[in-house]
Amino acid sequence: MVPDKATLDNLRIDRSAEKIRGIPRAQIAAALILIAAVVFAIWWLSQPAPVEVTTATVQSLGSRTELTLLNATGYVVARREATVSSKVTGRIATVLMEEGMHVDDNQILATIDSSNVDVNLELANAQFESAKKALAETRTNLEQAERELTYFRVMVENDVLSRIQFERAETTTNSLRARLEWQAADAAVAERQVALWQQQLDDTVIRAPFAGIVTTKNAQPGEMISPMSAGGSFTRSGICTIVDMSSLEIEVDVSESYINRVEAEQPVLATLDAYPDWKIPAKVIAIIPTADRQKATVKVRIAFIELDPRILPEMSVKAAFQSAGESENVRILTIPAAAIRERDGREIVFVVADGIAERRAVSVASRTKEIAEIAAGVSAGETIVVEGPLELADGDRVTEKEK
């Protein structure tokens, strides 16, 4: 028997209901995804734009076992420095040196007008020559008188000549001897007079007292110079200043409170303000055994291990007194000094990682105008912010400023 149409319709599976029930689920999922994308887009667009900054990399200069015990400031000074003057007063005739010129020991630096001295020297020479000729004449006369006296003595003994004539000849001889001694003394005085004027002539030539570099030139030809300062006049008391560059050293003032950290032969790292990246090896020469009552400091002399032409007198210098450590080597990390900021009384830097600025507290071992040496807080190779807005905060997005 064939079932009727109504019965077959009741047995047929109706798939339209499943289709109707499945459509809302897909739509709901798509709607949720769309909503999440819109929310993320709104959140992303609401975030502030990345801050433009200038960055640098933390550099490692190796390691050392010396630790800095004390920092002090001072100046480069010369142990041998002289303002060269003249021994006599006179007008400068020639100047034979300039600033920066190297001069040897006893080299002529300038001359003084010697016309008056030349005249007096010629006169003294003439007087000396006259005295020598008079002395020679008297010596000849004395020799003749002595021969005659010997002859008269023989004749008196033989009663050929009277005693009075002999005594007259003896008196003449003694007189000539006395005159010879007197003229010999006059000749010696004349010779010393020549030496005196010759010395004054030599004094008109100004020479270098030692080898060195001329740092200042204080006089010109035509000016007056004198070994003594004449107040209120235009007389020069010095012609130039010479510095022995091989005698350069460092003088620093150390506070009385920390002088116990300094000792002779102690290693020192010197840094010139002119070359902040140049660490110059040095050592303590001496601690001056007296204190400055006004400043409460003690002067310390420091010698350079090796001199360099870049080191000049009166340069400002920072001295880091070192102590050899017995522990493991200490890494030397350097960053630009401009990267260090101060927040809440602490020194910090901002480290950049994946475009995000991270605030880090650091320990600064030493610092110059350009470079800072970091003891702790960062690692070699990390990127730090050097220049950026003052309000930069932890977690801010940053981007490298285009150069």
CATH code of the domain containing 213: 2.40.50.100
Q: Are both 289 and 307 inside the same structural domain?
A: yes
- The CATH number of whichever domain residue 283 belongs to comes to 2.40.30.170
Give residue 5's pLDDT band: very low, low, confident or very high (50, 70, 90): low
**Model pLDDT for residues 167-198, shown as the tens digit of each residue:** 788 888 888 888 888 988 988 999 999 999 99
Q: Which one-letter DSSP state was computed for residue 401? A: P
Tell me: pLDDT of 151 over 90: no
Over residues 20-68, the pLDDT tens digits come to 454 566 677 777 787 777 776 665 555 567 778 888 888 876 655 556 7
3-class DSSP assignment, residue 293:
coil
Q: Which two tokens stand for residue 160?
A: 């050929």
258 Cα distance to chain centroid? 24
User: Could you tell me if residue 24 is inside a domain?
Assistant: no
Two structure tokens written together for 238: 């010095």
Considering the domain architecture, whether residues 273 and 212 belong to the same structural domain is answered as: no
| Same domain? 127 vs 87 | no
Report the length, in residues, of the chain: 403
Please give the helix or strand (H or E) that residue 138 lies within, else none. Answer: helix 115-157
Last residue of a domain, one of 288, 306, 324: 324
Judge contact between 319 and 268, C-beta under 8 A. Answer: yes
Q: What is the pLDDT of residue 148?
A: 79
Per DSSP, the three-state class of 312 is coil
137 Ramachandran zone, left/alpha/beta (phi>0; psi -120 to 50): alpha
In angstroms, the CA 320 to CA 271 distance is: 8
φ/ψ bin of 277: left (φ > 0), alpha (ψ from -120 to 50), beta (otherwise): alpha
- From 324, 352, 377, the end of a domain falls on 324
Task: Please tell me the predicted confidence (pLDDT) of residue 95.
Answer: 92
Do residue 123 and residue 171 come from a single domain? Answer: yes
The number of angstroms, rounded, from the C-alpha of 158 to the middle of its chain's C-alpha atoms is 95
CB-based contacts of 142: which residues, under 8 Å, 6+ apart?
Answer: 173, 176, 177, 179, 180
Same domain, 214 and 350: no
pLDDT of residue 16: 53
The model carries a pTM of 0.54
Structure confidence at residue 327 (pLDDT):
42
Shared-domain flag, residues 252 and 230 = no
Beta carbons of 344 and 295 less than 8 angstroms apart:
no
How many CA atoms, within 13 angstroms, populate the side-chain half-sphere of residue 261?
Answer: 17
- pLDDT-derived band at 316, boundaries 50, 70, 90: very high
- Is the alpha carbon torsion for 369, 371, 373, 374 positive or negative? positive
Any idea which residue has 């001069």 for tokens? 103
Whether 207 and 108 have beta carbons less than 8 Å apart is answered as yes
Residue 302's domain spans which residues?
67-79+245-324
- Is 198 found in the same domain as 150? yes
More confident residue, 328 or 74: 74
332 vs 64: CA distance, rounded Å: 7
pLDDT band (50, 70, 90) for residue 286: very high
When divided into structural domains, the chain yields a total of 4
Same domain, 259 and 229: no
**What φ, ψ does residue 61 adopt, rounded to 5°?**
-100, 20
| 292 and 263 in a common domain | yes
Is there a single domain that holds both residue 213 and residue 103? yes
* φ, ψ for residue 143, nearest 5 deg: -65, -40
Q: What is the pLDDT of residue 20?
A: 46
By the 8 A CB rule, do 208 and 242 touch? yes
In the predicted model, what is the mean pLDDT of the chain? 82
Judgement on whether residues 122 and 189 belong to the same structural domain of the protein: yes
Contact 206, 108 (CB under 8 A): yes
What's the pLDDT score for residue 45?
56
- Assigned domain for 129 exists: yes
Same domain, 311 and 344: no
Given 266, 291, 324, the domain boundary residue is 324
Q: What is the CATH number of the domain that holds 336?
A: 2.40.420.20
Residues above pLDDT 70, as percent of the chain: 85
Domain-embedded: residue 33: no
Alpha carbons 84 and 101: distance in angstroms, whole number: 14
